[in-house]
Structure formats: structure tokens, C-alpha cells
């Protein structure tokens, strides 16, 4: 019989053996535990000109995006926020060819801290991760939970001028009848589990419309030889595995807009209809929750 129990939470700030460097080393050994995807360690204790040392510099293996990570045991404070942003800014200026994101990891991320960060989140790409420690028979378990995600400004599909709205004929010229019909197939799949959606023909993509409002958890971009489907989903290893195991033509995750990009050729949508429906359902629930 399975033994269910409530784990004992412990405070690492007062722990006699576990320090920030111990946590730093653990994350460096296995970056997946913080939940930001397939990251590799670029540097540890990275010296910053006249500004101390950056705890960890990680890089995404697919997008090459860099994460400037600062770790703090106990509560977050003002100096921690400033230091994290300062390191992000230095790295961004030193290596402008990369996309950069600041990451704060702390045991206690207070509501006041979240309120302060929310004032500039969107202007500064920043993620806050709360770290909880629990005592078990095997040792101490670390749980990392993202409590503040990066907010993107100016999503084109959410604030388009009327002049950017087009029609089906426009997309038949940009793509082909066959690739535009793929957007129809996607719409049919969506309405099979959430009726009431329509296509909205914008200048840069075909979006979704429901109850008089844009609802773009999925966007379609018909080309001459294929159609690209973009799904608004947080990047996760589970979703990556689903896409890989079903041999979908993955065009890579775009962290700037928070979308999975999948290419479909003629016949692919019917062939993969079941898994496409599953991914669309996940995106709709995530976007509208």
C-alpha cells in the first residue's frame, strides 16, 4: 500500500550545511530542476566589471537564449532585485547577439516583491522562481516553482490597428489554397472541443476570434509549400516529448513570444489530428485559464 505523508518543510537560510553555493552547484549539475527547459551551464561565479559575481549563466540549447540567474536563501530583498537586473544588463550589453533573461531564485518571494517586479516586468525580461526544501528519508528534496513568468509587451495579435486586418484572398495570395485550407482544418479541430471560434485574417498571421474578441492561443501562417502552426504554451519537457514522439516537424520554441512552432505539409494535419487536438486543447486551457 502506498504510504502518503506530509513532508516536513525546512528553512535553508538557517541550515548549518546548505549554503547558496551548495544550491548553485546542484543547479549547475542539473539545470533541468529549475524548470526553464534544456539549459547548459555557460559559467558559474561569473565576474562582473565593478559589480560582483553572477551566480549562474545558463544558455538554452535550442534557442541560444541566455539566463542570468541569481540565488538567494531566505527572503528576497531590494539589493537582490537590483543585483539581478544589473547583471542581466551587463551581460546583455556585452553579448547583444543573444536574447537575455534575468532569473531570481529565492526561498521566500513575498507579495511586496512580486508587486515591485510587476511594475517593470515586460520592459525587463524577468522570471522569479521560488525554491522550497523538504526533509525526506533520502535527504533534502528541492522543489522549484515559477511564481512570476516573463511578461511580453506589444503582442501584435492583441493590439493590431484596423488597417492590419486583411481577408482570405490576401492569404490565398501569400500562401496557396492548399495551405490556407490547413488553417480551416485547424479551426475544425478547435471547434470540435470548443465551439464558437472563427478565423481572423490579420496581416502577419491568421488568428482566432470568439465572442467578438481575439483569442489567439493558436495562430496559423500559411506559406507557399507549408503552413506553420504556433501554439501559445509555456515551454516544458512534457510538451517537447509529445512533439518529438509523434514526429511533428518542430521549428523550435520561440521564447520571446512564448510559442511552439510546428510545420505542416499537405496531409499532415489529418495524419496527426489526434495529437494536434491534444496540443490545441492544452494551449486553449493554458491561454484562457
Topology given in CATH for the domain delimited by 156-288: 3.90.1150
| Domain 8-148 in CATH 3.40.50.150 | no
Give the up-direction half-sphere exposure of residue 18: CA atoms within 13 A in the CB hemisphere. 21
Burial group, residue 18, by CB count within 10 angstroms (0-12, 13-18, 19+): middle
* pTM, to two decimals: 0.55
Average pLDDT over residues 62-90: 87
Tens of pLDDT, residues 11-46? 888 888 888 899 999 999 999 899 888 888 999 999
Could you identify the residue written with the cell 537564449?
65
Mean pLDDT of all residues in the chain? 87
Burial group, residue 35, by CB count within 10 angstroms (0-12, 13-18, 19+): middle
Element (H, E) at 9: strand 8-10
Residue 17 has phi, psi (to 5 degrees) of -115, -30
- Tell me how many degrees the CA angle 235-281-35 measures, rounded to the nearest 5: 20
Measured over the CA atoms of residue 195, residue 186, residue 149 and residue 240, the dihedral's sign is positive
Kindly list the domain boundaries of the chain, sorted by start residue: 8-148, 156-288
Tens of pLDDT, residues 237-273? 899 999 999 999 999 888 778 899 999 999 999 999 9
Tens of pLDDT, residues 132-168? 888 887 888 889 988 877 655 444 444 444 445 689 9
Instruction: For residue 47, list its beta bridge partners.
Output: 53
Q: Would you state the cell numbers that stand for residue 116, as one nine-digit string?
A: 515591485
Distance from C-alpha of 208 to C-alpha of 199, rounded to nearest angstrom = 5
- Identical fold, 8-148 and 156-288: no
Could you identify the residue written with the cell 547583444?
96
Q: Coil, strand or helix: which one is 132?
A: strand
pLDDT of residue 152: 52
Residue 93: pLDDT band (50, 70, 90) is very high
Amino acid at each position: 500500500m502506498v504510504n502518503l505523508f506530509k513532508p516536513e518543510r525546512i528553512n535553508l537560510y538557517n541550515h548549518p550545511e546548505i549554503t547558496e553555493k551548495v544550491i548553485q552547484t546542484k543547479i549547475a549539475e542539473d539545470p533541468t530542476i529549475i524548470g526553464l527547459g534544456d539549459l547548459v551551464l555557460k559559467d558559474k561565479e561569473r565576474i562582473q566589471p565593478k559589480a560582483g559575481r553572477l551566480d549562474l549563466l545558463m544558455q538554452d540549447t535550442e534557442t541560444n537564449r541566455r539566463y542570468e540567474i541569481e540565488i538567494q536563501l531566505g527572503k528576497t530583498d531590494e539589493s537582490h532585485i537590483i543585483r539581478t537586473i544589473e547583471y542581466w544588463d551587463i551581460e546583455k550589453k556585452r553579448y547583444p547577439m543573444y536574447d537575455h533573461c534575468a532569473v531570481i531564485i529565492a526561498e521566500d518571494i513575498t507579495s511586496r516583491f512580486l508587486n515591485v517586479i510587476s511594475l517593470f516586468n515586460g520592459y525587463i525580461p524577468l522570471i522569479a522562481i521560488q525554491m522550497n526544501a523538504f526533509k525526506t528519508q533520502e535527504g533534502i528534496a528541492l522543489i522549484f516553482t515559477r511564481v512570476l513568468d516573463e511578461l511580453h509587451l506589444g503582442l501584435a495579435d492583441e493590439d493590431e490597428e484596423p488597417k492590419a486586418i486583411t481577408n482570405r484572398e490576401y492569404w490565398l495570395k501569400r500562401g496557396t489554397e492548399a495551405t490556407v485550407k490547413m488553417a480551416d482544418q485547424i479551426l475544425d479541430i478547435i471547434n470540435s472541443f470548443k465551439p464558437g471560434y472563427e478565423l481572423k485574417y490579420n496581416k502577419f498571421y491568421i488568428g482566432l476570434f470568439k465572442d467578438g474578441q481575439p483569442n489567439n492561443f493558436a495562430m496559423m501562417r500559411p506559406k507557399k509549400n507549408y503552413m506553420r502552426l504556433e501554439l501559445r504554451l509555456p515551454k516544458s519537457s512534457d510538451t517537447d516529448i509529445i512533439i518529438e514522439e509523434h514526429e511533428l516537424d518542430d521549428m523550435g520554441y520561440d521564447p520571446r513570444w512564448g510559442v511552439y512552432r510546428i510545420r505542416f505539409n499537405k496531409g499532415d494535419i489529418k495524419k496527426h489530428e489526434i495529437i494536434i487536438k491534444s496540443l490545441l486543447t492544452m494551449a486553449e486551457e493554458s491561454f484562457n485559464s
